[in-house]
Amino acid sequence: MTAQFKLLIDGELVDGVSTFDVVNPATEEAFAQCPKADEALLNRAVAAAKAAFPAWAAKSFDERAGYINRLADALESRVDEFARLLTSEQGKPLDQAAYEIMGSVFVLRAFANMRVAEKTLRDENGNTVIEHRTPLGVCASITPWNFPVVLLMNKLGPCLIAGNTMVAKPAPTTPLTTLLFGELAQGILPAGVLNVVCDQNELGPLITGHPDIAKVAFTGSTGTGKKVMASAAEGVKRVTLELGGNDAAIVLDDVPAALAAQKVYNGAMTNAGQICVAVKRAFVPEAMYDEFCDEIAKLASAAVVDDGAKQGSTIGPVQNRMQYEKVKSLLEDAKARGTIVAGGELPDRPGYFIPPTIVRDLDDDAPLVKEEQFGPVLPVLKYKDIEEVIARANASEYGLGGTVWGKDLARAMEVAKQIDTGTVWVNQHLAIDPNIPFRGAKQSGIGGELGEAGLNEYTQAHIVNAVSLETA
């Protein structure tokens, strides 16, 4: 690939101060150069977003929706190009990459349809109280490497429709699809409404501490999220933090083992396990445990682990070397503590490939169970009764998502209600919808994205409380 990637600042596609390699995780070879911004370029991007804000905020919702829909149409018309680039930098199989791009189109269109509504809170005895919402100004998007495109759209859609402008910073290992989106947006949005800068992990603190940035929308690890929150405290900046998770899948005893295994496998291994709400711990009743482990092992053994660009590949590599080393060390530790029933051996080839691995007979205090693995290695744990499994599922500092599988829907929903996370799906998984709020409990986040609640996080609630002069 010889494409030249540029930053987007004030409507111009510009070079960085230097470039750095972007590595294809399936080959470990650099296939493109990413332009790198320094503090001066970041400041130019923020200044451009600040200058563009008044005119953008003054447009009507319908006008802004028109721009967002044009972004969606342009992205849809280039889905193959974006998907190929996404597979090259991120590693996921091409069909999953195309799915992420189409999901991004869907998210943009959903936000183009949303409106920030004015609410009358009281209208009685001459007292009128109105809550209306105003945009915040310049918002920053800081995104991770697992879903670089759709996680940006979850922020850009509400940011723009509410009347804000944006500076977006992708993760250093997956910057190219964001840059390509910047190039696409250059031809559509007024100058400065969206700016894209890239770094090798240096810009984060400068963004979170920047006096002209009103809000930071961050998706990433809990460790970095804590730094974002601390840094944003100085200016009492708005933050939304979408952080890590250690989601439990709870299989109830009225589900056929083979069906449960299929569902849990998909939830754990899609995107090579690199999903914030992937199944990271599977809890299975004692009586079904052996059969479930056999069934899920069959699925893992049948996976085609290969370069995502190759047809037929079902699991691509882990996205970067650091994550590969982390998952590898959790796997080595789990080998010593539990029983590997599928996978476990790393192929002798270039690329950060880890075959889908199923580990049984682990204790809850094993690192693979306690920590967020964020990779294709799943512990399957045995439980005796419902109260016990709920307590064990909740025994985590994380509280992002989770799933409950059960034929008796009322019982499954009753269990779901007791799981201490932001979202619990029952008999489905990854049903993320731009119209439904998504947020983490405990150390999985603050605030949230999507839905009306997510849109409102890009606004300031403003109360006008009036009485007539006669009443005063």
With residue 20 as reference, give the H or E element that holds it. Answer: strand 18-24
Closer Cβ to ligand NAD, 372 or 457, answer by number: 372
Which stretch in 44-52, 70-78, 142-150, 258-266 sits in contact with ligand NAD by CB under 6 A? 142-150
Residue 243 touching ligand NAD (CB under 6 A): yes
| Rg of the chain in Å (alpha carbons) | 23
Which of 400, 412, 419, 450 forms a contact with ligand NAD (CB under 6 A)? 400
**Cβ 462 to ligand NAD shortest distance, Å:** 28
Contacts 24+ apart (CB under 8 A), 368-371: 368/330, 368/331, 368/333, 368/334, 368/338, 369/281, 370/246, 370/396, 371/246, 371/330
Which of 24, 143, 164, 421 forms a contact with ligand NAD (CB under 6 A)? 143
| CA–CA dist 195, 165 (Å, integer) | 9
DSSP letter at 305? B
Closer Cβ to ligand NAD, 144 or 157, answer by number: 144
Which stretch in 4-12, 129-137, 145-153, 458-466 sits in contact with ligand NAD by CB under 6 A? 145-153
CB atoms within 10 A of CB 252: 20
**Catalytic option among 89, 100, 242, 449:** 242
Which residues does 425 contact at the CB level (< 8 Å), separation at least 6? 401, 402, 403, 404, 416, 431
Which of 43, 69, 128, 221 forms a contact with ligand NAD (CB under 6 A)? 221
Give me the sign of the Cα torsion angle 134, 139, 145, 148. Answer: positive
Closer Cβ to ligand NAD, 406 or 440, answer by number: 440
**Cβ 181 to ligand NAD shortest distance, Å:** 15
Q: For the segment 425-454, give every residue that binds ligand NAD (CB under 6 A).
A: 440, 445
| CA–CA dist 194, 1 (Å, integer) | 26
Closer Cβ to ligand NAD, 67 or 438, answer by number: 438
Closer Cβ to ligand NAD, 262 or 394, answer by number: 394
**Cβ 119 to ligand NAD shortest distance, Å:** 28
Residue 142 touching ligand NAD (CB under 6 A): yes
**Cβ 20 to ligand NAD shortest distance, Å:** 12
Interaction mask 245-284, ligand NAD, x per CB under 6 A: x------------------------------x--------
Contact assessment for residue 381 and residue 371, using Cβ atoms and an 8 Å cutoff: no
Interaction mask 61-80, ligand NAD, x per CB under 6 A: --------------------
Contact assessment for residue 356 and residue 342, using Cβ atoms and an 8 Å cutoff: yes
Which residues does 469 contact at the CB level (< 8 Å), separation at least 6? none
| CA–CA dist 122, 128 (Å, integer) | 5
Tell me, yes or no, if 100 is annotated catalytic: no
Residue 220 touching ligand NAD (CB under 6 A): yes
Residue 119's Cβ-count burial label (10 Å; 0-12, 13-18, 19+) is exposed
DSSP letter at 355? -
Closer Cβ to ligand NAD, 252 or 354, answer by number: 354
Residue 157 touching ligand NAD (CB under 6 A): no
Closer Cβ to ligand NAD, 120 or 435, answer by number: 435
Residue 396 touching ligand NAD (CB under 6 A): no
Using DSSP bridges, classify how beta strands 7-9 and 12-14 pair: parallel, antiparallel or unpaired.
antiparallel
End-to-end CA distance of the chain: 71
Catalytic residues: 242
Which residue ranges make up the site for ligand NAD (CB under 6 A)? 142-146, 151, 169, 171-172, 201, 204-205, 208, 219-221, 224, 227-228, 242-245, 276, 372, 374, 400, 440, 445
